Amino acid sequence: MTAQGEDVLAWLEQAINEREETARRASHQKLWRTHDTHLDLGGHTATVLTGERNDTELLAWVPTMSHQPWDESRNAWNNAEHIALNDPASVLCRCAADRKILDLHSRIEDGTQLSVDFPQCKTCCEEGGYEREAETFPCLTLRLLAEGYGWTGGER
């Protein structure tokens, strides 16, 4: 496998691990929701809350700190909604799905010299078998998955 191929896989594993660990450390209340508040002279704020009624925990406070009327372009509400949509359970589900993609697109390791000299993805290689023209490992699917985590191809 090329050095870049090894790099992207190690980098992707680390990126998924970091997201999982961060999600595991976060609050695991079932319901994450947003709420807007007018702060009189202090402006407006959007909050991310968890829990229900009298058992509510403030997870994020996103103020505009503006004395102007509510303005969507200030993005406080959009940022709060984004935070709420990325609750720990959602992040853990995404990480689990990404690990399944990693497994599905793993390297062919059949013990042959060909698999050592020309590493290929076991899923992407199925149609044509081993061919020098076939895409080498890591396949486009894994490179795109890594891109979603911030891989630029320049990390080595």
Residues 74-101: pLDDT tens digits?
667 777 888 888 889 899 999 999 999 9
Task: Evaluate whether 19 touches 95 at the Cβ level (below 8 Å).
Answer: yes
Buried/exposed 70-85: b ≥16 CB within 10 Å, e otherwise:
eeeebebbeebeebbe
Condensed to tens digits (0 to 9), the pLDDT of residues 3-45 reads 456 688 999 999 999 999 999 998 777 777 777 766 665 566 7
Neighbour tally for 130: CB within 10 Å: 14
**Could you tell me the pTM of the whole model?**
0.73
Q: How far is CA 73 from CA 45, 48, 69, 78, 80, in A?
A: 13, 19, 11, 9, 13
Between CA 48 and CA 55, with CA 53 as vertex, the angle to 5 degrees is 80
* DSSP state for residue 107 in the 8-state scheme: B
